[in-house]
């Protein structure tokens, strides 16, 4: 399916869905006139209209007008939405769920047999086209369907196909991990404020420090331990600072956080 003939629908029009739509538009993947979003009220839809996208209050209309459909509702709402749209789902649809904890098995059970369904887990930086996304495909989805999704979503950041068992781990690593990074950035900036730097400047430098470190990891392919070692000099400032972080058990605490969030994601899927 070529992008020119692709009609994209979003059932649910919240921040994550809007960020993905902006990524598609900025990359020229899909024209705004080929995107249709639904929501129960106009509260979120005004922003979509500002982008030039079409909007509706009818979920069934999204299925009738679209070939690639993103299900971007809250997890507890999704079963009811699937029951509503099930009669309109056909073999020409590719259905992509963004709902945390809702497994492919459950999606396939609630949709018509043979539906081309995939499960996608994005993270918040998708709204600035710098996200980290993973997806897994159901039994009805083909290599072509997976390639279509991956090609489209590279406009929103990193997008990788993985076994479904990795999706909850991705939630702990990256979905929730964005918040760990914000907490670390806040602590970096507050440390500088304590030492006398103005808060705004400290926050900007903290953010750029994280951005630069991440870019070096991606562009060099080096293990973070190697890059960390490159910053240290014998008896220097960095090794003294790292000693304090090790005394505070930063490494173990972060590992525990990833584990806790992953387990909670698994629990949500069983609720």
Q: Looking at residue 2, what is its pLDDT?
A: 52
Mode of pairing for the β-strands spanning 116-121 and 131-137 = antiparallel
Q: Looking at residue 259, what is its pLDDT?
A: 98
Residue with tokens 């059970």: 109
Mode of pairing for the β-strands spanning 157-161 and 35-38 = unpaired
Is 9 within 8 Å of 112 (Cβ atoms)?
Answer: no
Residue segments in the chain with a per-residue pLDDT below the cut of 50 = none
> Cα–Cα distance between 98 and 75 in angstroms, integer?
9
> Cα–Cα distance between 107 and 138 in angstroms, integer?
9
> Cα–Cα distance between 202 and 8 in angstroms, integer?
41
Tokens of 111: 């949709």
């Amino acid at each position: 399916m070529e992008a020119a003939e692709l009609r994209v629908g979003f059932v649910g029009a919240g921040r994550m869905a809007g960020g993905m739509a902006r990524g598609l538009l900025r990359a020229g993947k899909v024209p705004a006139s080929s995107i249709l979003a639904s929501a129960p009220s106009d509260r979120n839809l005004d922003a979509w209209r500002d982008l030039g996208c079409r909007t509706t209050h009818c979920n069934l209309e999204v299925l009738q007008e679209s070939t690639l459909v993103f299900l971007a509702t809250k997890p507890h709402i999704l079963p009811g939405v699937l029951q509503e749209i099930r009669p309109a789902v056909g073999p020409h649809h590719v259905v992509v769920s963004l709902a945390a904890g809702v497994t492919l098995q459950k999606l396939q059970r609630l949709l018509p047999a043979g539906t081309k369904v995939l499960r996608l887990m994005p993270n918040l930086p998708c709204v600035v086209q710098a996200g980290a996304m993973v997806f897994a495909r159901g039994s009805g989805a083909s290599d072509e369907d997976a390639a279509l999704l991956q090609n489209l979503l590279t406009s929103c950041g990193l997008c990788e196909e993985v076994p479904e068992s990795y999706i909850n781990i991705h939630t702990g690593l990256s979905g929730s991990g964005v918040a760990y990074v914000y907490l670390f950035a806040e602590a970096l900036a507050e440390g500088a404020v304590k030492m006398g730097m103005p808060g705004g400047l400290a926050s900007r430098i903290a953010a750029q420090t994280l951005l630069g470190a991440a870019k070096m990891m991606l562009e060099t392919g080096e293990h973070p331990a190697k890059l960390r070692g490159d910053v240290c000099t014998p008896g220097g400032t960095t090794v003294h600072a790292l000693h304090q972080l090790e005394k505070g058990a930063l490494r173990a605490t972060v590992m525990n956080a990833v584990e806790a969030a992953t387990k909670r994601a698994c629990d949500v899927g069983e609720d």
